[in-house]
Amino acid sequence: MIPASPAEPSSGSPVQSGPPGPAPSLRLRQRWTLAEPHAEAAAALARVARLPHALAQLLVARGVTQAAEAYAFLNPEPAHLHDPFLMLGMNQAVARLEQAIAAREPVLLYGDYDVDGAIAVVLLKTAIEMLGGTVRFHVPHRLREGYGLQSSVLEAAHAEGVRLVITVDTGMRAFAEAETARKLGLDLIVTDHHLPEAGNAVPHALAVLNPSQPGCPYPEKFLCGAAIAMKLAQAVLERRDPARTREKTLPSFLKMAAIATIADAVPLRGENRVIAALGLRLLRSPVGAGLRALFAAAALDPAARQLTGFDVAFRLAPRVNAAGRMDVASEVIELFTTRDPARAAELAAKLERLNRERRDIEAAALTAIEARLAADPELAADRLLVVDGDGWHRGVIGILASRVVERTAKPAIVVSIEDGVAHGSGRSVDGFHLLNAIESCADLFTRFGGHAFAVGFALPADALPELKRRLRLYASEHLSAREPERLLRIHAELPLDRITPVLAGWLRKLEPLGHGNPEPIFVARKARLLTAPRILKDRHIRLELAQEPVQSVIPSSAQEPVVSGTSSAIRAVGWDLAARASELGLAGGSLIDLAYRIRENDHPEFGGLEVEIAGIRLFQDAPQRAEAHG
């Protein structure tokens, strides 16, 4: 549940987004899919756990079917965190790190330039220094060095007396670099969450900490890089002072790990949910100068309002990521480790400036891409879109690929050509494994990597036409030819008159929402417009609605359907839906089916429960599990 913005009392716009930007250039057909209700399991869980049926239905869809599981899901506690020593390689890693600290050996932390990698460095650096160790770090420059462990950095570190290197959020595919470390006499500890190479090979290192590697019994397989670094920090600190670690240090670390967990879009289930939920709760009272400065820059006051997953993913993370995208991520580490409020404010202000620059650069490139697609029907018709441009900033091409996917509902790769090298970043859609697609062209790349939904690569610019040709052929074999459509996943049916403050309070316990724990989208059938739609700023609509009697599949106690009756009015807002309302001919008295999210507006004059429209169509007497409309 995400509160509505007090700044938009007439519309109840959600604080996380507000009115959207320019409408997509391509208007896509929307297809609704309604999740299976699991009626019997949901009714049983609701009865035994004494939960609202709508919440029980959402929990069952998440694999939570027992009352004890539901209680744990809705009430995360520190006791739900796993023992770090369950992770394969942890004993060896802790023993070597303790040895380095005792001998005052300098330790090199090798990180990554995104939120996850930077926070991982902060956590381990803090832990080592707390124990009296000597630590330095290296975060590669996105444009000059690129992603991953570099042999040249290892050689320089060895020359400076380093004998232990710990990677964070990177290293799982650094086979050549691990061999360099071995030849130099460097002990290498890899902490990473990325999947091993095909065949499950792992680099030759003193220890590899990755729950996804073969043979690792650690229960949570999808930790982010910072969470794995936190586990190593926790393990080595607990060996020295277990009580202080659990009571004081771990809560402090959870704040940072929560930001990384949400920002890195790992599934918010299991231990990830515990880390994110506990960390957000603890962030109500940030202590560090850097955190306080970052909150101020993002206009967030965690003491006044509980932070949500959306606040982290879309207000904090972009500012932190801006450093690695546009400049140097090492300043993020300084931000989170400085104790000087003035310096923290200076660094947070720089992140704010870089984020604004990033948005401007992204907007200009996106305008060029949309113009290209509009002017080239053959390109726009491709099943997998590959769009290239000279000198597009490499720090934003991944975001641009995501924007193209949003606008076209097709997998997309955006390529920046610079100094004879083509740097690409891609994003995909459900059902199309993008890494498999580029692996089919592996001989063309100088480097590549990724997973099903996101990839990155580099290749000589003169090989780009061949890449496009091969990917076009691959897509023709693996993607069906169909009209692009936007899939709207509806999680449960909930008539409008079932929306109550009590239910809204229960739904808030699903936070933090994000990947693997999506914000619920409900559907209400046969809602009646009490008045004609009100048009806002020529693009948006506001509706006054009431629920007409309809047989509901959501029981109140037994499993028989019940009839929902006309209720008092509820307000609905729809972004960029003015044209849709006109197309449907909506007027006072119209009956509609409405897909929606529940919102809470805390404005003193216009507050209360309302809904944000996710999809709208004319009322259909025979609802289907999956259907499409324009």
Per-residue pLDDT, 453: 85
- Position 264, amino acid: D
Residue 509 shares a structural domain with residue 572: yes
- In a domain? residue 356: no
Does the pLDDT of residue 12 top 60, yes or no?
no
CATH classification at residue 611: 2.40.50.140
- Given its phi and psi angles, is residue 516 left (phi above 0), alpha (psi -120 to 50 degrees) or beta? left
C-alpha distances in angstroms, 624 versus 34, 35, 271, 385? 8, 11, 36, 32
Q: Domain for residue 296, yes or no?
A: no
Q: Do residues 515 and 477 both lie within one domain?
A: no
pLDDT of residue 554: 57
Is-contact 530 588, C-beta < 8 A?
A: yes
The larger pLDDT score, comparing residue 328 to residue 132, is at: 132
The whole-model pTM stands at 0.88
- Is the pLDDT at 9 greater than 90? The verdict is no
Q: What percent of the chain has pLDDT over 90?
A: 76
Condensed to tens digits (0 to 9), the pLDDT of residues 79-116 reads: 999 999 999 999 999 999 999 999 999 999 999 888 99
Averaged pLDDT, 572-598: 96
* Domain count along the chain: 3
**Of 485, 500, 535, the domain-final residue:** 485
pLDDT of residue 8: 28
* Same domain flag for 16 and 114: no
The backbone torsions φ and ψ at residue 193, rounded to the nearest 5 degrees and listed phi first, read: -115, -5
Work out the average pLDDT over 539-563: 71
Same domain flag for 543 and 439:
no
Per-residue model confidence (pLDDT) at position 327: 77
Please check whether residue 575 is in contact with residue 540, taking contact to mean a CB–CB distance below 8 angstroms: yes
Does any domain span residue 292? no
Stretch among 83-87, 198-202, 239-243, 475-479 having the lowest mean pLDDT: 198-202
Q: What is the pLDDT of residue 27?
A: 63
Please say whether the beta carbons of 406 and 433 come within 8 A: no
**Predicted local confidence at residue 555, as pLDDT:** 54
Structure tokens that stand for 315 in this block: 């207000």
Picking from 18-32, 53-67, 554-568, 604-618, which range would have the lowest pLDDT averaged per residue? 554-568
Domain that holds residue 234: 81-267
Asked whether residue 318 is domain-assigned, the answer is: no
Instruction: Please report, for the domain that includes residue 440, its CATH number.
Output: 3.10.310.30
What distances in angstroms separate CA 381 from CA 401, 474, 630, one per listed residue? 16, 15, 19
- Judgement on whether residues 463 and 520 belong to the same structural domain of the protein: no
- pLDDT for res 484: 78
- Do 417 and 481 reside in the same domain of the chain? yes
pLDDT in tens, 476-531: 999 887 777 888 999 999 999 999 999 999 999 999 999 999 999 999 999 999 99
540 and 404 in one domain?
A: no
pLDDT-derived band of residue 1, with 50, 70 and 90 as boundaries? very low
Q: Domain check: are 41 and 86 in the same one? A: no
pLDDT number for residue 622:
54
Confidence class for position 448, pLDDT limits 50, 70, 90: confident
Residues 6+ apart with CB under 8 A from 484: 26, 28, 29, 408, 409, 410
Q: CB within 8 A of 444, min separation 6: which ones?
A: 459, 463, 466, 467, 470
351 domain residue, yes or no: no
pLDDT at residue number 452: 83
Q: Please check whether residue 571 lies inside any domain of the structure.
A: yes
623 and 524 assigned to the same domain: yes
pLDDT for residue 564: 52
Q: State mean pLDDT over 311-330.
A: 88
Of 267, 284, 318, which one is at a domain's C-terminal end? 267
- Provide the pLDDT for residue 525: 96
The pLDDT of residue 558 is above 50: no
Whether residues 247 and 109 fall in one domain:
yes
Residue 241 maps to a domain:
yes
337-377 pLDDT, tens digit each: 999 999 999 999 999 999 999 999 999 999 999 999 999 99
Same domain, 429 and 512: no
Residue 623 has pLDDT above 80, yes or no: no
pLDDT for the residue numbered 40: 95
Average pLDDT over residues 305-325: 90
Are 454 and 553 found together in one domain?
Answer: no
Residue 140, pLDDT > 90, answer no
For 79, other C-beta atoms within 10 Å of its C-beta total: 7
Is there a domain that residue 325 lies in? no
Query: Best-predicted range by mean pLDDT among 314-318, 404-408, 527-531, 620-624?
Result: 527-531
Contact 395, 325 (CB under 8 A): yes
Q: What is the mean pLDDT of the chain?
A: 89
Alpha-carbon span 385 to 85, nearest angstrom? 45
pLDDT at 186: 96
Please report, for the domain that includes residue 242, its CATH number: 3.90.1640.30
Cβ-based burial of 479 (10 A; exposed 0-12, middle 13-18, buried ≥19): middle
Given 267, 298, 333, which residue is the final one in a domain?
Answer: 267
